[in-house]
């Protein structure tokens, strides 16, 4: 019994240490200054470099989809398309040449945002129907809560929003939160088309442009996340 208790205690200690390290990694300074390294990217979890890398790709108008800090298939496709556009070797590795191009934009990739009354007041759906036929009587396909609405507003995953703002309930106007900063107030056109070509293949995708944070509306389809396509948004 004593041995079991000791093992449980040791496990709790390691868990607390891991959580503490993870929290330290997700600090704004660590994310804004993150540099490429062997373990800087992961397709399993968000990393500081993964966040910075995705935001910089998005600012360069090559969308990795919803910003989640992971090196998933969408991020890889966006990286390859960006490298091709820059006439650099295309691969799933963030090379020194590619990174030098991306960090020409050296502005912080995170920003503070103060919650407004509109952000927290809704109205929100208590539950989104799982079947399409059950949605026909809903007058407006809204969000199920402020966290989901804010994540959509800033083109980031709910998980990343929570990781950047631990213990935040996103339910009180005036509270300051940390969000990714992709648009920097840019006005984007209503439609855009991307093309990155090789001699033997082409990548082409279109995306409904995101509404700047101050002009958010109802739930979108998040097509750029689910389609598996990389997109270059033309100003």
Angle between helical axes of 73-85 and 48-59 (0-180°, round to 10): 50
Decide if pLDDT at 230 tops 70: no
Decide if pLDDT at 64 tops 70: yes
Please tell me the distance from the alpha carbon of residue 226 to that of residue 195, in angstroms, as a whole number: 19
* SS3 assignment for 164-179: HCCCCCCCCCCCEEEE
* Least-confidence region, from 93-97, 135-139, 141-145: 135-139
Decide if pLDDT at 18 tops 80: no
What average pLDDT does this structure show over 121-147? 69
Please tell me the distance from the alpha carbon of residue 167 to that of residue 150, in angstroms, as a whole number: 16
Q: What is the DSSP string of 197-209?
A: E-SS-EEEEEEEP
What is the domain partition of the chain in residue ranges?
1-235
Please tell me the distance from the alpha carbon of residue 208 to that of residue 222, in angstroms, as a whole number: 9
Predicted local confidence at residue 220, as pLDDT: 47
Decide if pLDDT at 47 tops 90: yes
Please tell me the distance from the alpha carbon of residue 85 to that of residue 88, in angstroms, as a whole number: 8
What average pLDDT does this structure show over 144-161? 94
Please tell me the distance from the alpha carbon of residue 183 to that of residue 88, in angstroms, as a whole number: 25
Identify the CA nearest to 54 among candidates 189, 198, 154, 202.
Answer: 154
The pTM of this model reads: 0.70
Predicted local confidence at residue 16, as pLDDT: 36
- Condensed to tens digits (0 to 9), the pLDDT of residues 27-46 reads 999 999 999 998 999 999 99
Decide if pLDDT at 57 tops 70: yes
Please tell me the distance from the alpha carbon of residue 220 to that of residue 152, in angstroms, as a whole number: 8
What average pLDDT does this structure show over 93-108? 96
Predicted local confidence at residue 217, as pLDDT: 40
pLDDT class for 1, splitting at 50, 70, 90? Answer: very low
What average pLDDT does this structure show over 13-37? 67
Higher per-residue confidence, 67 vs 230: 67
Q: Which backbone phi and psi does 114 adopt, to 5 degrees?
A: -95, 125
Contact 232, 81 (CB under 8 A): yes
Q: Average per-residue pLDDT in the chain?
A: 75
Predicted local confidence at residue 234, as pLDDT: 39
CB count within 10 Å of CB 156 equals: 22
Q: Is 21 helix (H, G, I), strand (E, B) or coil?
A: helix
What average pLDDT does this structure show over 50-71? 97
Predicted local confidence at residue 124, as pLDDT: 75
């Amino acid at each position: 019994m004593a041995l079991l208790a000791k093992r449980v205690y040791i496990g709790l200690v390691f868990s607390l240490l891991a959580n503490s390290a993870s929290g330290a990694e997700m600090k704004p300074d660590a994310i804004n200054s993150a540099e490429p390294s062997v373990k800087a990217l992961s397709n399993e979890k968000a990393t500081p470099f993964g966040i910075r890398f995705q935001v910089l790709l998005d600012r360069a108008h090559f969308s990795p989809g919803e910003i989640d800090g992971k090196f998933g298939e969408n991020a890889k496709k966006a990286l390859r398309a960006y490298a091709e556009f820059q006439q650099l070797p295309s691969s799933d590795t963030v090379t020194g040449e590619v990174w030098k191009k991306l960090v020409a934009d050296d502005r912080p990739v995170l920003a503070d945002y103060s919650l407004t009354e509109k952000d927290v007041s809704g109205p929100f759906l208590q539950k989104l129907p799982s079947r399409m036929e059950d949605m026909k009587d809903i007058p407006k396909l809204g969000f199920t809560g402020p966290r989901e609405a804010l994540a959509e507003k800033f083109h980031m995953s709910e998980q990343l929003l929570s990781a950047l703002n631990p213990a935040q309930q996103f339910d009180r106007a005036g509270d300051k939160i940390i969000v990714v900063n992709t648009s920097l107030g840019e006005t984007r056109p209503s439609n855009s088309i991307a093309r990155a070509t090789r001699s033997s293949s082409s990548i082409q995708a279109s995306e409904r442009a995101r509404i700047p944070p101050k002009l958010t509306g109802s739930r979108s389809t998040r097509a750029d996340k689910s389609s598996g396509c990389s997109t270059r948004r033309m100003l």
